[in-house]
Amino acid sequence: MKLKLMLWWLGVMLKRARARKTAFRDTLEKLQRFDWGVATEDLSIARHYRMTPQTIQSDVGLPVDLALELRFRDADSATRFLRKPSQRAFREGLFKGQLRLVGDSRDLERLQSLLKHL
């Protein structure tokens, strides 16, 4: 339940950043469109985000057409990571097998460039 709430709140924060922060809008303008998602490995908890300069949409589930997916081993490891996301935490999660990246690593860099403005 905690992870579902965190992912929903992330959608709210993304929408708020698009409305209030010029740097976030500028970065999103350069990307034009960025679709990504977060889920547990068994897909019991999943949420995706579709972002354009005009709008940000967030919904449950994990469609197949996403540019990037962050898949966590379980809800607890996802919650720990999302509380304090950093490049170091991401790297450690990959090495320990708690996190799996589905997509291009360049898309991860794009995502990090957006999330730093939250």
Q: Provide the pLDDT confidence category of residue 91 given band limits of 50, 70 and 90.
A: confident
> Residue 113 and residue 107: Cα distance in Å, rounded?
10
Indicate the range of 14-28, 30-44, 78-92 predicted with least confidence. Answer: 78-92
| Domain map (residue ranges) of the chain | 2-115
Task: Judge whether residue 1 has pLDDT over 80.
Answer: no
- Write the pLDDT tens digit of every residue in 23-74: 999 999 999 999 999 999 999 999 999 999 999 999 999 999 999 999 999 9
Sign of CA dihedral 81, 82, 87, 93: positive
Residue 24 near residue 117, CB atoms below 8 Å? yes
Per CATH, domain 2-115 is 3.30.1300.10 = no
